[in-house]
Amino acid sequence: KQEVTQIPAALSVPEGENLVLNCSFTDSAIYNLQWFRQDPGKGLTSLLLIQSSQREQTSGRLNASLDKSSGRSTLYIAASQPGDSATYLCAVKDNYGQNFVFGPGTRLSVLP
Amino acid sequence: GAVVSQHPSWVICKSGTSVKIECRSLDFQATTMFWYRQFPKQSLMLMATSNEGSKATYEQGVEKDKFLINHASLTLSTLTVTSAHPEDSSFYICSARDLTRQGGQFFGPGTRLTVL
């Protein structure tokens, strides 16, 4: 059974710092991996989707990498801003492509 | 494009009543929809997968008689929490898969259920 973990559970940084969020999964036979952002009491906003054949994806200040063989993904946020404060969820979809298995999330606070 | 809506966005009900939550794909057809539950400060847990025109598939530990799912059309799925109790209070999020967008899965904004 696929299990997804995220480190750290919470992170507080001053504005302007570059930071890395980590995601690990136990079964490397994944279809894709996706990073989401969730604001308190809100739904999910998709940030980056990496297909199993890809190594990384970039969008603005965000960069996500995928090392399928080691079961790891990282989300790099450059020049963090207070507006980046949210919970970041990592989710993997298995090879059957049916549904996501979510990690517990990393709660990020960027202080002005 | 690829917008999923949920209604209501929040609901408060008395213990013992039933509550229906709607999930709609607004600009695409979704043969498959997913229902997730999220408790405070926890991640999303899949409850069930519904396919249009057939019975939903429930995850282990989810009572199918308590959480009734209907996926009667390609744009609408409903989740009915029957005889709700305070422990059912949670954030319910639906997701719809669009086969025309390489199987992209899109999430609704969620419904906050509070059972008194």
What's the one-letter identity of residue B61?
G
Helix or strand run (H / E) with residue A86: strand A86-94
Contact B71, B24 (CB under 8 A): no
Contact B3, B72 (CB under 8 A): no
* Closest Cβ opposite residue B112 in set A41, A49, A99: A41
Q: Where are the beta strands (DSSP E) in chain B?
A: 4-7, 10-13, 19-25, 32-38, 45-51, 57-58, 67-73, 76-81, 90-98, 104-107, 111-115
| B85-98 pLDDT, tens digit each | 999 999 999 999 88
CB A104 to CB B103 under 8 A? no
Contacts of A105 in chain B (CB under 8 A): 43
In chain A, which residues have their Cβ closer than 8 Å to the Cβ of B103?
97
Kindly give the parts of chain B with pLDDT less than 50. none
A104 close contact with B: CB closer than 8 A: yes
Question: Which tens digits make up the pLDDT trace of A50-80?
Answer: 999 999 999 999 999 999 999 999 999 999 9
